[in-house]
Amino acid sequence: MNNCDILIIGAGAAGLMAAHSLVKAGKNVIVLEARNRCGGRIHTLNHELFFKEAELGAEFVHGDLPVTLGLLKEAGIELAPSGGQMWHYKEGRFVQEGLFDEGWDLLAKKLKKIKKDVSINQFLEAEFPGEEYHELKTSVHRFASGYDTADPDLASTFALRDEWLNEDEGAQHRIKGGYGPMIGYLEAEIKKAGGHIVLNSVVNEIHWRAGHIKVVTVDGYAYKAEKLLLALPLGVLKATMPAQAAISFRPPIPGQMEAINKMGYGGIIKILLEFDELFWEDRQTEEWVGKSLKNMGFVLSDEEIPTWWTQTPKKVPVLTGWLGGLAANAKKNLTDEELLQQSLKSVSHIFNRSIDELKARLIAYHIVNWTNDPFTLGSYAYDTVNAAAERKILSHPVEDTLYFAGEYLYAGAVMGTVEAALMSGRDAAARMIDKN
């Protein structure tokens, strides 16, 4: 069982999609996964820890995405609507606005005119130097860091322009039952076709030469193959000893490692709070806000945990908090209890409820510190100014033996998404098949 045609390290969306394609092509495949489950940054809770259905990782389908929707159709899984109003809480009041407070039209106009790529901070300083643009720059900085989990001093303006100007806000979805069933479908199809998935397998050594792979896990198991696909998060590939998931290549692959270390990778902390009722829809909240929040989808704020969303249009008493980018990196070593207290304080300020009341109404909570998770070490990739050159290096196999796949290798408007991971895995498998 320890010998195969192709080894894959990582049973996230990219690794499983690649394995699915490879086993259908008749390849003998083994997937090694460090966790005790498949899915990676996809983790759906179904009737666990009081949560009837909740996403600890990826949650939305950002647009009518062909690979994701095609796979869901193949699996017989339906989409669910996602929507609701966007609110901002600032200076003690609720304001209904878009993602950017003001100046979006001017921002879009200047983004379209830029000819040379620079970091988004360099772009903002050059194009919006006056104090009158302070709020606009703050909004852009917050969005790049929060939503894209990027360092604005490094993030590519070209990449953010492609994403922001092409996002289809009218085609946002969730998946009925969450992303978990999609992962379960891939897992079942791989096994049905004769592939093997080995959980709790932390790889720390890769010995290779052209056409020969030997992988060694921390518990001493060895696996051999002709080719290897590394479908790991960028944070794990960047990791060095003594990190638990750090991998040594023998011989080293300096060109690829240099490219990996130049690519952008963010941080994220996600908080789920389940209450006894949807208190943000009650009369007390309506009197505080001056308007009904019964169709609230998102609320953005300047609190410690700034972004919160609901399950609208489903009526579920869960608030999901999101802290991304540099702010998540700064808090990555906080305990769950400290993060919970900051979350409750943030919700308390936004909705004008005492912390004691929120604690009394809190049924369950779950905090996912992906930035400190040993098998993720961050959120998802963002393009730096030179990312295209680094991506080109990593998209080519090393001596037709070492291949890479992951959302960080995707170039397009939906970077950092499940779609990007699935597409990368599918494309890597196609390259491996074509080489034979």
pLDDT (0 to 100) of residue 163: 87
Q: Kindly report the average pLDDT of the chain as a whole number.
A: 94
Q: Are 142 and 323 in contact (CB under 8 A)?
A: no
Rounded mean pLDDT of 33-49? 91
Q: Is the pTM of this model over 0.85?
A: yes
Find the DSSP H helices in 283-369: 283-289, 326-330, 336-351, 355-361
Residue 223 Rama label (left phi>0; alpha psi -120 to 50; beta): beta
pLDDT (0 to 100) of residue 54: 92
Rounded mean pLDDT of 144-165? 93
pLDDT (0 to 100) of residue 50: 79
Rounded mean pLDDT of 334-345? 98
Q: What 8-state DSSP symbol labels residue 317?
A: -
Q: What 8-state DSSP symbol labels residue 414?
A: T
- CA distances, 321 to each of 273, 274, 308, 365, 393 (Å): 8, 11, 4, 11, 36
Nearest residue to 168 via CA among 64, 295, 82, 78: 64
- Residue 111 in this model has a pLDDT that exceeds 90: yes
Per-residue pLDDT tens over the stretch 129-146 = 988 898 889 889 988 999
- Residue 313 in this model has a pLDDT that exceeds 70: yes
Query: Which domains does the chain carry?
Result: 6-78+177-263+385-434 (3.50.50.60), 81-175+267-379 (3.90.660.10)
Per-residue pLDDT tens over the stretch 166-218 = 766 667 899 999 999 999 999 999 999 999 999 999 999 999 999 999 999 99
- How do beta strands 227-230 and 402-404 pair? parallel
Q: Which residues of 222-260 are buried (b: 16+ CB within 10 A; e: fewer)?
A: ebebbbbbbbbbbbbbbbeeeeebbbebeeebeebeebb
- CA distances, 404 to each of 2, 35, 355 (Å): 21, 19, 47
Q: Which residues pair with 309 in a beta bridge?
A: 298, 320
Which residues have C-beta within 8 Å of that of residue 281, sequence separation ≥ 6?
A: 292, 293, 294, 296
Cα(324)–Cα(345) distance, rounded to whole angstroms? 18
pLDDT (0 to 100) of residue 98: 66
pLDDT (0 to 100) of residue 1: 60
Residue 44 Rama label (left phi>0; alpha psi -120 to 50; beta): beta
Residue type, 348: S
Q: Which residues pair with 6 in a beta bridge?
A: 29, 227
Per-residue pLDDT tens over the stretch 392-432 = 999 999 999 999 999 999 988 788 899 999 999 999 999 99
pLDDT (0 to 100) of residue 414: 86
- How do beta strands 318-324 and 307-309 pair? antiparallel
- What values do phi and psi take at 236, rounded to 5? -70, -40
Does 129 sit behind a cis peptide bond, omega within 30 degrees of 0 on the bond before it?
no
- Residue 104 in this model has a pLDDT that exceeds 90: no
pLDDT (0 to 100) of residue 168: 62
Residue 83's pLDDT band (boundaries 50, 70, 90)?
confident
Structure tokens at 93: 């009041």
pLDDT (0 to 100) of residue 169: 60
Residue keyed to tokens 């992906």: 370
